[in-house]
Chain A
């Protein structure tokens, strides 16, 4: 009997092996293939930094800063920053109002914001496109295209911003606010000094769920602009389809680095907090 008990504990741990192998082969190994392609020469397969030079060099006599690639990068960052800020500006008040509404059925109200997410993503984007052409601003000019892309990103990712922020705001102990008010803080300063700092985790988690996708989800940008506005995700897709795997890998590697930086800044690897993980709170 004494020998079997340690063995039993051991057997439960063993259950992690299949998933560990799965992660190793299908998540970690593919990332190393990207690194391999990024650092090797396309023809000879030898180690080189050629791809990085190619990435950061202009085409046809232009410098990098004049090239269309630079424009794509700047545009992506612009679209992504604007989409994230807009999501935040819309999501925070929504989450705040719901959390402070005093309604019994807050989840029901919150559900109203999530329900459209259960319609297929491409169908949804298609619906937004049809709405824009109905209004008459679809594919009208470059400026409208950028605006429409941002609109598409916000439309698609807004719930991912609302949910974590709502979760953190609704968990704030109301007595903190009362204490702030008792100590003489006005409504605004109580908000800035109590609610806002305490909901920071939700904001960060929301940003981490919106920022990178709105830089890379080329389905939205291609769909909303009839392929006229290019973002980094579309560039990677193009590289892959045209067999420029090395260049595509360099871009993917830069995005991967960016992902780790953002995740580190927003604390996304901290799996302890339950506001993390986009979508799990959808159910």
Chain B
């Protein structure tokens, strides 16, 4: 009976994991397929990878510019959020509540509503269509609240006496902020930054509404390919990208786990 329950439990976990991983694994397998559609299996080949890594084709430059955008957006968001979170944390209760409430809006609002409202705003500003400001600001609206949310808990855990001690020992408030407060909340800042990168890389809807006409991110490009009857080779070359990202993530996770368990082992 106990064994039966165990099988049922882990069988269920296995099934859910299968559902989560099956699509990506299928694409990984088919990224080595010669054919360009998923329904027929040709021969093993590297063609999709060759197409993908050829800088003259579209995918690689688009991947590059998407990463650049993510880095810019994540850096700006993290800066704004770090300053903002410290400010919110030290402001009066009522002010803090209002700001935290406003901070929640982009988090829980439907993305398409956020996107359309921003598009209206930028139309009102009459910015040129080639401007990157709407895209960068738009993604910052998406990312910054999450960075704030990952920093605030660290501020709450912080030992406030240390800041006072630094002041008593003669540090200027700015100095105390940089050498006492920031180091204590740095894990929150780092994880917020990483989260902002993934949010920016992932974003389709905000980018679709705010990007310059000629600019493409990975998301908008693949989506535009799905609509039209474009060359199949471009589409299937993104299978290669899916496989590469997936393998890279798996490697990073394994390495991190091994390092963490080594650390834990040393402590013991």
Contact = CB atoms under 8 A, between A and B. Distances in A.
B101 A256 contact: no
B38 A133 contact: yes
B218 interface: yes
Interface in A251-283: 252, 255-256, 259, 262-263, 268-269, 271, 274, 276-280, 282-283
Nearest to A245: B120
Given A12-B90, A155-B20, A22 B80 contact: yes
Contacts of B99: 16, 19-20, 23
Interface residues of A, number: 90
Interface in B214-257: 218-219, 222-223, 226-227, 238-239, 241-242, 245-246, 249-250, 253, 257
A138 to B, nearest CB: 9
B205 interface: yes
Contact of A127 (B24, B87, B124): B24
Contacts of B112: 216-218, 233, 236-237, 252
A47 interface: no
Contacts of A276: 104, 149
Contacts of A109: 13
Given A16-B88, A23-B102, A126 B238 contact: yes
Given A97-B9, A134-B39, A283-B191, A13 B20 contact: no
Main secondary structure of the interface of A (DSSP, over half): helix
B245 A27 contact: no
A122 B203 CA distance: 9
Contacts, number: 260
Interface string B121-153: 100100000000000010011001110111011
B149 A13 contact: no
B165 to A, nearest CB: 14
Interface in A1-47: 8-9, 11-20, 22-31, 33-34, 37
Contact of A123 (B38, B173, B205, B242): B242
B34 interface: no
Contact of A113 (B17, B119, B148): B17
A119 B105 contact: no
Interface stretch (A54-62, A189-197, A207-215): A207-215
Given A33-B124, A127-B27, A216 B113 contact: yes
Counting chain A CB atoms within 10 Å of each CB, which of B10, B81, B195 scores highest?
A: B195
A215 B141 CA distance: 21
Given A19-B88, A245-B120, A122 B218 contact: yes
Contact of A19 (B12, B83, B167): B83
Given A16-B91, A126-B222, A216-B113, A30 B118 contact: yes
A240 B101 contact: no
Contact of B16 (A13, A29, A90, A134): A90
A163 B101 CA distance: 22
A37 B148 CA distance: 31
A29 B195 CA distance: 26
A129 B27 CA distance: 10
A186 interface: no
A121 B105 CA distance: 22
Interface in B163-179: 167, 173, 177
Contacts of A259: 108-110, 113
Shortest Cβ-Cβ A-B pairs, 8 listed: A16-B87, A19-B84, A30-B117, A15-B87, A127-B23, A216-B110, A283-B191, A12-B90
Interface of B: 9-10, 12-13, 16-17, 19-24, 26-27, 30, 38-39, 80-81, 83-88, 90-92, 95-96, 99-114, 116-121, 124, 137, 140-141, 144-146, 148-150, 152-153, 167, 173, 177, 191-192, 194-195, 198-199, 201-205, 209, 218-219, 222-223, 226-227, 238-239, 241-242, 245-246, 249-250, 253, 257
